[in-house]
Chains A and B, each alone.
Chain A
Amino acid sequence: MTKGIGNTQKRFGNFIRGVVPAAILGALAAAYGADAKYPTAKVMTTGLAVTDNEVTVGILHSLTGTMAISETGSVEAEKLAIAQINESGGILGRKIKFIVEDGASDWPTFAEKARKLLVQDKVAAVMGCWTSASRKAVLPVFEKENGMLYYPTFYEGLEQSKNVIYTGQEATQQILAGLDWIAKEKKAKTFYLVGSDYIWPRTSMKIARKHIENVLHGTVVAEEFAPLGHTQFGSLINKIKLKKPDVVFAAVVGGSNVSWFKQLKAAGITADKQTLLTISVTEDEVLGIGGENLVGFYSSMKYFESLDNPNNKTFVPAFKKMWGPNSVIGDVTQAAYLGPWLWKLTVEKAGSFDVDKVAAASPGIELKTAPEGYVKLHENHHLWSKLRIGQWKADGQALVVYESGLIEPNPFPKGYQ
């Protein structure tokens, strides 16, 4: 961001209109720099919504419907990141303006709104989607209309697209190191796999099984899937009691997740008797489950709110200042926060908002200020990231008991399919 000298009245007018007073200094540098060094005609050649002092992005999440529970945090994080980027001078001297669209927990609506954002609003990038189903629904739209999607959720992998940057973990990043740790730490040999009955848990459990059997040389004593929205886990819990596995490995989601942990606790399965590792509990879910029902169980994630590093120590207060002291930050919320920042760095590296150039410039982008610590974009458009094991406490925060090195993303893992 170099300082330039604005010389005409017109530019000064643009500047007055386009700038938020709170960020005058940074914007001053940026607004002038922009016009001098990055004329719109140069940084954007494909008809995107980019003006001399503004660039428009889309935020596409469920604000209503059943998924609103999970996606609210992502929207909050994305808005925070955009506000911070604007405060620090914007992108190529341009403020980010955002359009929020509601996917309403309905996949065709996601596809419809994605088309609207790309075709009508001509947004330069979209931060959005949460479930795999919604991503699968919008993916053809993004590929057809050549848009750029920053997708925050940890997911099952088996996908890679020029038009998507995956800021969450793919399955192997979240599962393998976690299983390694628990096998070593707890000398675990037998595993009981439990998940909700849909693609993410099923794929995750498949990878987990291969890893347990082929690498850890343990046994999977059972693999169980409960339908989405299932509320009664009594029989399943009895089966676990019968099999007495060393580790229960769980990926139950949504309202079922609450029932599952409450009923585990009620049936006397607590951390002092049973080791449990889950890949579907973040700080967001703890609100609904209740910390007291989780005490001592482990979660395998790349981020916890309690992480002790300088980046996180500035991120958490900023988030709480914007969204209230009672807000919590889960793994996906943090990953959503990375989206706008990664996009900013990529655009600046490419010197252009054009999607093709951004996609081409993406591999190798490094974000040193991520709350989870240093991350780097891989050629396959996923992030190199660390894995952490957190042990839940009654107050709903996790104690980080293990941290891996940076793990290479591998959405099509050989030997795990």
Chain B
Amino acid sequence: MKKAAVDENRSKDGSWLLGLAVLSALIFIVMPLCFDIFRLNLVGKYLTYAFVAVGLVLCWGQGGILSLGQGVFFGLGGYCMAMFLKLEASDPKSTAIQSTPGIPDFMDWNQLTKLPWFWQPFHSLTFTLIAVVLVPSLFAFIIGVAMFKRRVGGVYFAIITQAVAAILTILIVGRQGLTGGINGITDLKTLHGWDIRTNGAKYVLYFINAGLLVASLLVSKYITSSKLGRLLLAMRDKEERVRFSGYDVSNFKVFIFCMAAGISALGGAMFTLQVGFMSPSFVGIVPSVEMVIFTAVGGRMSLLGAVYGTLLVNFGKTYFSESYPALWLLLMGGLFISVVMFFPNGLAGLYDQHLKKRVAAAGARFRAGRAAGLKTAPAGEPPGMEKTAATLPGGIPGKRTKGPKQPLETRP
């Protein structure tokens, strides 16, 4: 299993980039051309969930860590962004009717007379952008260290993440003076004076979101095809053996869990920007599990599959809930059961089984034709894609050093 997976991974690298190109074309070109801004904004919203699904592929598919609380990180990222936007929306002028102008409206209703300390730094956009990724990653780090160092895993870990989600929801809902409570942080308007509610802004945000998603996919791919990725797979399948080989398993787990959290948080922040609010309903258990469904449908091992799975399930949700609301939940549940039972590798698995050979054959024909006719592109990839592949490691220097370095450090 382990060896097969690794080999498969390697041989897949080339066609993976082709797959990414297809997906990018779909997201960047086809969808904006086919949909009006209303539908496109919806797609943008779905794509923010795809961040979480990609994170889950990393920690669940690759690392074997099933977290039923990824919504926590999505939510934290979203809240960080929302805090900045809310502060900007509550300038002293537009909140002049409040008893304390200049603080968010919900604080005023809860008799707060000054901004709480942890809100202060969110006046700065730079701080916010850092916090969006850093706060959730740090939180994941704390949970990860606490759990993985003590070798809490499997079902136990899944339950713990649910408890964490429950705690956070209670706190956010209960401390409404500080957090906006159950209504969340709403009525967000501008980002540094730029109105995020206009159609133009929605287009821009959609493309930023899509760009970030592709970047996350590349980083994730880099991790999974590095030595770290192989170690993760090995660890998922036989944790003890990896440990006995001298690796500190928990460090890898913590790292990948933080990665997944950081990526999810990006999605959360983009969600806030595109939808215009953030509410504690994302931090809860139900959305967290739904995002696991997206991943499972796409294929828990496949980064690209996760994106397709997310899009498919959400399109289904919107379509069916518009026409047959009751049917939708049955369908969703049924989908979940059947994916787990019959297609454990999801869409990606189906693709591998049925379509891959044909696509490969078609690709070979295409290549042969091109080689004969044009004598270019010897690798068979569109030239642009090759470039992407080459710039990838250089583009993310931190990851490059971190990936291979960690195993070396922990080797005795």
Interface residues of A (CB under 8 A from B): 63-64, 101-102, 104, 106-109, 111-112, 115-116, 119-120, 131-133, 136-137, 139-140, 144, 158, 197-199, 202-203, 225, 227-228, 417
Contacts and interface: CB of A to CB of B under 8 A. Distances in A.
Contact of A133 (B111, B182, B187): B182
B241 interface: no
Contact of A132 (B170, B183, B325): B183
B181 A120 contact: no
A122 to B, nearest CB: 12
A64 B322 contact: no
Contacts of B38: 115-116, 119-120
24 contacts: A102-B325, A107-B279, A108-B275, A108-B279, A109-B321, A111-B275, A111-B277, A112-B42, A115-B38, A120-B38, A133-B182, A133-B183, A133-B184, A136-B186, A136-B187, A137-B186, A140-B197, A140-B277, A144-B197, A158-B109, A197-B170, A198-B173, A225-B174, A227-B173
A139 B321 contact: no
Contacts of B110: 202
B317 to A, nearest CB: 9
Which 5 A-B pairs rank lowest in CB-CB distance, beginning with the nearest?
A102-B325, A198-B182, A136-B183, A136-B186, A63-B325
B104 to A, nearest CB: 13
Of the candidates A101, A107, A116, A140, the one having the most CB atoms from chain B within 10 angstroms of its own CB is A107
Contacts of A144: 197
Contact of A198 (B181, B187, B197): B181
Interface in B70-120: 99, 105, 109-111
Contacts of A111: 275-277
Contact of A64 (B174, B186, B275, B329): B329
Interface string B171-195: 0011010000111101110000000
Main secondary structure of the interface of A (DSSP, over half): helix
Contacts of A104: 321, 325
Q: What size tier do the contact residues of chain B reach? A: 20 to 34
A105 to B, nearest CB: 9
Of the candidates B111, B197, B279, the one having the most CB atoms from chain A within 10 angstroms of its own CB is B279
Contacts of B176: 198-199, 202
Contact of B109 (A101, A131, A203, A227): A203
A139 B186 contact: yes
Given A112-B42, A227-B173, A63 B322 contact: no
Contacts of B318: 112
Contacts of A136: 183-184, 186-187, 277
B183 A101 contact: no
Contact of B182 (A63, A102, A112, A199): A199
A271 to B, nearest CB: 31
B37 to A, nearest CB: 9
B45 interface: yes
B6 to A, nearest CB: 40
A133 B188 CA distance: 15
Contacts of A203: 109
A144 B99 CA distance: 26
B79 to A, nearest CB: 14
Given A136-B183, A140-B187, 14 more contacts: A64-B326, A102-B325, A104-B325, A108-B45, A131-B182, A132-B182, A137-B183, A158-B109, A198-B176, A198-B182, A202-B110, A202-B181, A228-B173, A228-B182
A417 B97 CA distance: 13
B9 interface: no
B281 interface: yes
B16 interface: no
B328 interface: yes
Interface in B136-183: 170, 173-174, 176, 181-183
Nearest to A159: B105
Contacts of A102: 321-322, 325
Contacts of A119: 38
Given A112-B42, A198-B173, A198-B176, A137 B329 contact: no
Interface string B359-372: 00000000000000
Contacts of B197: 140, 144
A240 B252 CA distance: 52
Nearest to B322: A101
A33 B20 CA distance: 61
Interface in B28-73: 38, 41-42, 45
Contacts of B174: 197, 225, 227
B368 to A, nearest CB: 47
Given A133-B182, A227-B170, A140 B321 contact: no
A112 B322 CA distance: 11
Contacts of A109: 321
B45 A112 contact: yes
A108 B276 CA distance: 9
Of the candidates B41, B170, B321, B329, the one having the most CB atoms from chain A within 10 angstroms of its own CB is B321
Contacts of A137: 183-184, 186, 277, 279
A144 B45 CA distance: 19
Contacts of B277: 107-108, 111, 136-137, 140
Contacts of A158: 105, 109
Contacts of B328: 64
A116 B45 CA distance: 14
Contacts of B111: 417
A160 B328 CA distance: 35
A103 to B, nearest CB: 9
A140 B274 CA distance: 13
A113 to B, nearest CB: 8
Contacts of B173: 197-198, 227-228
